Copies of this chain bind each other. A is one copy, B any other.
Amino acid sequence: MDGKIVNLKSKLEIYKAMTAGANFADCPVRDVINGINGKWSPLLVMALAEKPYRFGELRRLVPDISQRMLTQTLHELQRDGYVHREVFPTKPPSVEYSLTDLGRSMFVPLCHLVQWAELNHDAVREARAAFDARM
């Protein structure tokens, strides 16, 4: 199961980086990707890429996220260094979330993926419809 995958160069290296590790800690790509590809993470990064937002603003912006998931996802994004959390000691203390430099640099490739998604949405929907029709 080891000798058959030795054909390409750059792609193979990436591929090996994703699969070679015996576990998660040894695989940088899966480690990082799994932090990004949560259900709400890309959405929040896209939102914060536009401008910083407060907790309640984000909640109103993404109506179908629960507070629990918003708190948790922001916490994870903060932990991984994508998001900066700042508390302002106003009368009711307000909390502002903004993208760090790391977050902004991650936003670039993410944005490409999102652009692809926009362009190819119709193709995907068609494929889906054709597939469902055959079943």
- Interface residues of chain A, those whose CB is within 8 Å of chain B, are 1-3, 5-8, 10-12, 14-15, 17-19, 22-23, 28-39, 42-43, 46-47, 49-52, 60-64, 78-81, 99, 102, 104-118, 120-121, 123-128, 130-132
20 A-B residue pairings within 8 Å (CB atoms):
A3-B52, A3-B99, A5-B61, A6-B50, A6-B104, A7-B51, A8-B50, A14-B46, A18-B43, A19-B46, A29-B114, A33-B113, A79-B127, A79-B128, A80-B124, A81-B128, A102-B124, A102-B127, A106-B116, A113-B113
Chain B's nearest CB lies how many Å from the CB of A48?
9
Contact A32 B78 (CB under 8 A): no
